[in-house]
Every structure is written in C-alpha cells, then in structure tokens.
Amino acid sequence: MLKAVVELFPQRKQTMPDKNESFSPAPTALSRAAFVAQFGGVYEHSPWIAEQLWDKGIDTAHDGVAGLHEGLQGILAKASRDEQLALIRAHPDLAGKAAVRGELTEDSRSEQAGAGLDECSTEEFAHFQELNAAYKEKFGFPYILAVRGRHRSAILENFEARIGNDPDTEFTEALRQINRIALLRLTEIAASSS
C-alpha cells in the first residue's frame, strides 16, 4: 500500500547542490571564531568538525562549497568511531518527539518541514514513532536521511527498507547521509551569502 502512496506522491524535485558556488566572505577571510560560528552547525551539534578543519589549516581551496565540503568530510572520515557515533546520535528522530516539543535546530526544523514531516497524519506520525523506536533499538542510533526534496511517503518507504540492514551497513549509510546533509547546508549558506 505504501508503494501506491509513493506513486501518488512522488519525491519532491531534488535540486543538485552547486558545488562550484563560493562563500562571501570567503572562509579564509574569517577568524577561527567566525569560521566556527558560520560552519559549526553544518554537522548537527558538532562544531568540533569545523574547529578541527580550521586547526588543520584552511586555504583558498576551502573558499568554495566543494572544497569546504571535502575538507569537512575528511575530518569526519578520520574521526574515531566513537566520535562518528556521537555525531550520528546528535541527530534528531524524523517526525520525532524533539520536533513536537520544538527542540530541533533551525536547519533540522526547516529540512523536516520541507519534506512535509510537520504535516503527518496521526497514522503517519504513529508509524514514524514505531519505526524510530525499532530502528534505535536495533542500531543504537537514530535513522538518518537527507530529507530535503523528498516526500514523507518516500521517506517512510526508505525507512522501512533500511531497518532490515545490518549495523555496519547502517552506520556507513548514516555517515553518507550526514555528509549529504552537510553539502546541502553548505550550499544554502553559500547561496544566502552571495
């Protein structure tokens, strides 16, 4: 039945981020504090990624979306598994209790609302709650999906498919989705800074 719903409500059009876009002011023109203030929220509740990139050294290659994203991804890739797990666990449940209580970051709130998760029917909301609980019970961290451009019915279908994966596959997929979210957020920052 869910597949029929997905066919009636296909994914919202996903626009590909413009990786060639640059920031104004350029990241290399910012102080460490300003850099972290601007980019520290790209990875949910994890400013340490931007801090470590700054401390490692940024150059003009990081002044565009693609270069900065690559640099931030590199920091995450070299992080310990415990640090990566902490980042994954920093993400809210989709259509979860934090959303109901108004505790989402502005980015997460906007992304979830853009996917229509704030418009769930009672049945959809209950289904998200059941899936969130089962997923966290199985994997020990929340289900993560870059929801921008997707409809909630397609998100539910993806959720149902991924809950059958093994823990290593889901850990890797969670990090992949987090990097996708970061790219979308960087693109939005660049677009709003020009």
Choosing from 62, 91, 127, 151, which is the catalytic residue?
Answer: 91
62 is catalytic: no
User: Cα separations (Å) of 102 from 71, 91, 108?
Assistant: 32, 14, 11
Neighbours of 65 (CB within 10 A): 22
Chain centre distance of CA 148: 9
**Contact, 53 vs 75, CB < 8 A?**
yes
Q: Is 162 helix (H, G, I), strand (E, B) or coil?
A: helix
Give the residue numbers marked as catalytic.
Answer: 91
